């Protein structure tokens, strides 16, 4: 890992109607639009979906690093996140993010240790730690074979 601080830059291009194009260094451009819930067309990534997706992705990448450092063998991780958007005190914001994760480990693996690493991953995720939302984790571990 490079020394901190890290800097990330995303730029956007837009016209009065239609999609917004997000661009970043060394990544493909991404078209976004408002979600149907805000009168958008659907069918595109929205800022809301990107934020929830960032929590999901960060959780998985954080778990990979923690599992590797802890020498935990695992075979699959399925993860989904649901964000609850509300209007409180005239401010619309995500008030809860619920991460549901199911980890599959080889037979004979210590399931308690695996679940502790899932919980540590949620607590260590830099994206969720950067948000002003309550973060919930629903984690489970199953054994293959």
pTM, rounded to two decimals: 0.88
Residue 38 and residue 52 share a domain: no
Local structure of 26: helix, strand or coil: coil
Residue 65 and residue 119 share a domain: yes
Domain that holds residue 41: 1-45
Angle subtended at Cα 134 by Cα 133 and Cα 135, rounded to the nearest 5 degrees: 110
Residue 95 and residue 38 share a domain: no
How many domains are contained in the chain?
Answer: 2
Residue 55 and residue 39 share a domain: no
What length is written for the chain? 145
Residue 105 and residue 88 share a domain: yes
**20 exposed, middle or buried (CB, 10 Å; 0-12, 13-18, 19+)?**
middle
pLDDT digits (tens, 9 = 90+) for 68-124: 999 999 999 999 999 999 999 999 999 999 999 999 999 999 999 999 999 999 999
Residue 66 and residue 53 share a domain: yes
Residue 101 and residue 59 share a domain: yes
Position 144 confidence tier, pLDDT thresholds 50, 70, 90: confident
Strand order in the sheet with 27-32: 10-13, 20-24, 27-32
- What is the model's pLDDT at position 92? 93
């Amino acid at each position: 890992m490079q020394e901190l601080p890290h800097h990330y830059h995303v730029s956007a291009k837009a016209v009065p109607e239609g999609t917004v194009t997000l661009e970043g260094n060394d990544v493909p451009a991404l078209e976004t639009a408002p979600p149907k819930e805000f009168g958008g067309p659907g069918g595109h990534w929205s800022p809301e979906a990107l934020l929830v997706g960032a929590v999901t992705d960060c959780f998985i990448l954080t778990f990979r690093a923690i599992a590797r450092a802890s020498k935990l063998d695992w075979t699959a991780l399925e993860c989904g996140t649901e964000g609850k958007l509300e209007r409180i005190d005239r401010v619309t914001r995500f008030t809860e993010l619920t991460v549901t994760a199911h980890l599959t480990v080889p037979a004979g693996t210590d399931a308690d240790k695996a679940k502790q690493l899932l919980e540590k991953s949620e607590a260590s995720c830099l994206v969720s730690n950067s948000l002003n939302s309550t973060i919930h984790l629903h984690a489970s571990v199953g054994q293959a074979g």
